[in-house]
Amino acid sequence: MQDIKILDATGLKCPLPVLKLRKALDALSQGEQIILRADDPVAPLDVEHFCKTAGHELLHVNQKEDFVEFIVLKN
């Protein structure tokens, strides 16, 4: 079992969290997961839209105290 990569995009504003996510997903193999952490207020909408349009699966969204954590499956 591989470790799940954690991508910290806290402090970054739109569109940087999604751009970093896209670049990180390009380096993964199909079926691998990544965790994105972001605190930009529009990140939930941006990440959901990106996953739908790029064909990846947004598995889970978890609101933490200071950021939102997204678990994304590369398809």
Q: Catalogue the active-site residues.
A: 14
Q: Tell me, what DSSP letter sits at residue 55?
A: T
Q: What is the signed CA dihedral for 66, 59, 15, 37, rounded to 10 degrees?
A: 30
| Token pair in block for residue 34 | 């990544």
